[in-house]
Amino acid sequence: MANIRDVAKRAGVAPITVSRCINNSGYCSPEARERIESAIVELGFVPNRLASGLRSKRTHTLALVLTDITNPFFTTIARGVEDTASEAGYTVIFCNTDESVAKEQMYLQMLLEKRVDGILLVPAVSGIDSVNIVKKQGTPIVVIDRRLPDLRTDVVRCDSESGAYDLTRLLLSLGHREIVILTGPRGVSTADDRLTGYRRALEEAGIPHNEEKEFYGAFSQQSGYEMAYQAMKKNNGITAIFAANNVITFGAIKAFQEMGLRVPEDVAVVGFDDLPAPLVTFPFLTVAAQPAYEMGKKAIEILLGRLDGELPDHYEEVVLPAAIVVRQSSGGIREITALK
């Protein structure tokens, strides 16, 4: 396998000139360039970026560590990340943690060893240690989707609390008073914030706080399914459900189908996260849609800004709004009796 010296020899220049030519760093005369380029083709030379990275301390590789690429919300983020990164000449490693802190830390260690230029992280519960491990190495990191308490990092996330507040207000305005929330793991900011928004809407409406109607679980379909069953067992007269992410929503709906409850006639359902339009036959769910693609794009932009040292010293916190999309699953206005 030819190396830069072989190319230099054949082109009659010094290796550094070849380097400058292929990287467009520094000047390279047109004649030299031509000879170098033919030498490259003739020798089938492929620059070794391990070597250049070793020397220059830049790998042009970034990483995206998330919980599960299989969730369309994260898939869309991933696409935003990859598009933006590749435009800037970067390549992206992706890792699925399944909300496991152990996996997260194992991946981060590998990524640091590979000397990625920067990391995008959707932290599992209490990802503070993780972020600190990365920062200690001096590798730039941007947290996506989730807040981290007392942590000095750049963050790109969605306004979960307002989104949840708006969705709950929607249910209230339709006449619902018995509203259950099925949220994610305690300690994950999106799960907590959505609960907070829900509570705030209820409080403002003068509805007393009731822990029997609040369920913490996992951000999984299975958990949504189980929480829906528990919710109906523990409570009477539930007329609406707020599911804190897309797959919880689907799990809950599956449970209702089994129970013989119609949506929205018997139970109204609203949820967080929209599904990409190309995947939906009959748009049905009323949701708070997060701008996933933009979140990924923005996160990479900040990361690249850090790499180029262009950003101010203070950390950036970008909080994008969720858009309420009203469809059938939330149903119409309830009867006066329901309004009481």
Partner DNA sequence: CTGTTAGCGCCTTCAT
Partner DNA sequence: ATGAAGGCGCTAACAG
> With CB under 8 A as the contact rule, which of the stretches 79-87, 141-149, 172-180, 312-320 interacts with a copy of itself?
79-87
What phi, psi does 14 have (nearest 5°)? -85, 150
84, 130, 168, 246: residue in contact with a copy of itself (rule CB under 8 A): 246
Site for DNA in 7-26 (CB under 7 A): 13-17, 19-20, 22-23, 25-26
**Contacted entry of DNA, a copy of itself, none for residue 28, CB cut-off 5 to 8 Å set by kind:** DNA
In 3D space, the residue among 160, 147, 123 whose CA is nearest the CA of residue 273 turns out to be: 160
Check binding of 137 to a copy of itself (CB under 8 A): yes
**Contacted entry of a copy of itself, DNA, none for residue 112, CB cut-off 5 to 8 Å set by kind:** a copy of itself
Residues in Cβ contact with 259 at an 8 Å cutoff, skipping those fewer than 6 apart: 229, 232
Check binding of 262 to a copy of itself (CB under 8 A): no
CB distance 98 to 68 below 8 Å:
yes
Check binding of 91 to DNA (CB under 7 A): no
Spatial separation of the C-alpha atoms in residues 274 and 285, rounded to whole Å: 8
Site for DNA in 49-68 (CB under 7 A): 51-52, 54-56
Tell me which DSSP letter residue 71 carries: S
Per the rule left: phi > 0, alpha: psi between -120 and 50, beta: everything else, 245 is: beta
Task: State which amino acid sits at residue 58.
Answer: R
> With CB under 7 A as the contact rule, which of the stretches 43-51, 87-95, 160-168, 260-268 interacts with DNA?
43-51
Q: How many CA atoms lie within 13 A of 7 on its CB side?
A: 29
CA distance readout (Å), 129 to 123, 132, 133, 179, 209: 10, 5, 6, 36, 34
**Contacted entry of DNA, a copy of itself, none for residue 281, CB cut-off 5 to 8 Å set by kind:** a copy of itself
**Number of amino acids touching a copy of itself (CB under 8 A):** 57
Spatial separation of the C-alpha atoms in residues 95 and 82, rounded to whole Å: 13
Binding site for a copy of itself (CB under 8 A): 1, 44, 46-51, 53-54, 59, 61, 68-70, 72, 75-76, 78-79, 82-83, 86, 91-96, 107, 109-115, 136-138, 220-221, 246-247, 250-251, 253, 275-282, 284-285
